[in-house]
Structure 1
Amino acid sequence: MHESVQGFLSHCGWNSVLESICAGVPILAWPMVAEQPLNARMVVEEIKVGLRVETCNGSVRGFVKWEGLEKMVKELMEEEKGKEARKKSKEVAQMAKKTMEEAGSSKCTLDLLIDEICGKKT
């Protein structure tokens, strides 16, 4: 959440993705295992709040060299695709914040869950 953080190189674990989205920080996706490739696809292709690390062979699970990583960091921080991801990250962060407001969907759903759990215990 620090203002000096302008991008996040992430393995795209779910908690990292949510934290970046809520902070309005674009993601440089470098998934490794489990659900991370799916999360990376969502970040890059669906929500469009990040870019994927470039691999040597162009595959999503290929080997990454430092040159490819450097290229994508520059792309995220300085080039047009990165500019679009940064802009979209700020927009999505605003939507995420609205869900936690008093009448927001996340707040209301969490309240319903707490009410149901408390009701079942009594």
Structure 2
Amino acid sequence: MTYMEAIAEGLQESEVNFLWVVRKPETSVLNELGEKVGERGIIVTKWVNQSDILKHESVKGFLRQCGWNSFLENICSEVPILAWPMIVEQPLNTRMVVEEIKIRLRVETCDRSVKGFVKLEGLKKMIKELMDEEKGKEVRKKFKEVGAAAKKAMAEG
């Protein structure tokens, strides 16, 4: 199963509404997902302004790889993150914000390492956790606190 197939199946089975922006689309995977989820999902294959998406009131969570700039953008938007680290500093960033600051949940991998191939069940479980479960509520509450502090720190004066 490819990453695209794992994400598609995880989104389908999680039963949450979603917007999925894909830079290098695997058309067959996206077409099949679109047919299965109907209006519950929006799939975009063109560039979008991520900052505008994060500011939209309907966005309640964000799956991302956890580069530092993206993380700071998420804090300021107060949108909690489901972390999926892959390269360079992303595993370290994820470890810090999941285990130390406790403002993210992390996608489970096959070998339980910080980076590795994602299990379908782990992705589905963590999407539901972020959106619906108690741990997700705690992360959202903490994220709002940290986001408000970040905005205050960047304010005039």
Question: TM-score category by the smaller chain?
Answer: 0.7 to 0.9
Identity %: 73
Q: CA deviation at 1:49?
A: 1.1
In 2: Cα distance, 1:10 partner to 1:43 partner? 13
Determine whether 1:44 maps to 2:98.
yes
Aligned Cα RMSD in Å? 1.0
Q: Tell me the TM-score normalized by structure 2.
A: 0.63
Match of 2:111 in 1: 57
Determine whether 1:90 maps to 2:141.
no
Secondary structure of the equivalent of 2:105?
A: strand
- Please say if residues 28 and 73 of structure 1, whose CA atoms lie closer than 8 Å, have aligned partners that are also in contact: yes
Moved over 2 A (4+): none
Q: CA deviation at 1:66?
A: 2.1
Equivalent residue for 2:88, pick from 24, 34, 37: 34
Larger radius of gyration: 1
Letter of the 2:82 counterpart = L
Gaps of 5+ in 2: 1-54
In 1: Cα distance, 2:72 partner to 2:95 partner? 14
Counterparts in 2 of 1:1-122, with a 5 A limit? 1-103=55-157
Q: Tell me the TM-score normalized by structure 1.
A: 0.80
In 2: Cα distance, 1:63 partner to 1:102 partner? 43
